[in-house]
Amino acid sequence: AEKYDIHAETIREWRTSHDMAGVESLERSKCHKFYPAELKYAAVKDFLSGRYTQREVSRKYKISSKSVLMKWVELYNGHKTLKDSGRGRNRLMTKRKNVSLEERIKIAKDCLAHGKDYARSMEIHQVSYQQVYQWVKKYQEGGEEALKDTRGKRKTEEE
């Protein structure tokens, strides 16, 4: 730890990870790991029970780091819903498709009705995660009018 100026706890975690899963476990992950909501709740409850340490819970549920667990605990204690994670960002984008104004409005309203579950809306409506995110953001800021596609349209002199 002194030689490389790394905290001793970090080295202990690396060693434990190596002992449990080999050299591959020490490689930096190229994508977000998927955690189902049920696993998140179970991990949080185990930690909050006081029977397990952060490290023990992280190992038990194969959580990538203690900070991930503590973020879940923070959300749980803040009375926020723990959702499945990693879905929307890890999948390949769907093929570009033309979506009418009415469809954009419907998708934005549907996403908001389900707690801004962008990944769910993406899968149901077969559009990209980013599209759903942008439509919801525009809808919240400017209503249905903000979802109109104005690309390629000239503005009048008054505008």
pLDDT in tens, 104-153: 999 999 999 999 888 888 888 888 888 899 999 999 999 998 888 777 76
Q: Residues 37-51: pLDDT tens digits?
A: 999 999 999 999 999
Q: What is the pLDDT of residue 53?
A: 92
User: Is pLDDT at 62 greater than 70 in this prediction?
Assistant: yes
**Mean pLDDT score, 29-37:** 78
CA angle 66, 72, 74 (to 5 degrees): 100
Predicted TM-score of the model (pTM): 0.46
Q: What is the mean pLDDT of residues 51-70?
A: 89
Q: How far apart are CA 66 and CA 54, in angstroms?
A: 6
The pLDDT > 90 percentage for the chain reads 34
User: Sign of the CA dihedral 54, 59, 65, 70?
Assistant: negative
pLDDT at 29 over 80: no
pLDDT given for residue 97 in this prediction: 67
Q: Is the pLDDT of residue 56 over 60?
A: yes
Q: What is the pLDDT of residue 90?
A: 42
Confidence of residue 154 (pLDDT cuts 50, 70, 90): confident
C-alpha 126/C-alpha 15 separation (Å) is 43
As given in the structure block, the two tokens for residue 94 are 């769907």
Cβ-Cβ contacts under 8 Å for 59 (sequence gap 6 or more): 16, 20
Per the CB < 8 A criterion, the answer to whether 97 and 127 are in contact is yes
The two tokens of residue 42 are 């179970």
Give residue-wise pLDDT tens across range 67-92: 899 999 999 998 888 888 765 444 44
- Write down the mean pLDDT value for the chain: 84
Instruction: Give the pLDDT score at 57.
Output: 93
User: Which helix (H) or strand (E) segment is 124 a member of?
Assistant: helix 118-125
Extract the tokens encoding 60.
Answer: 């038990």
Is the CB of residue 25 less than 8 Å from the CB of residue 18? yes
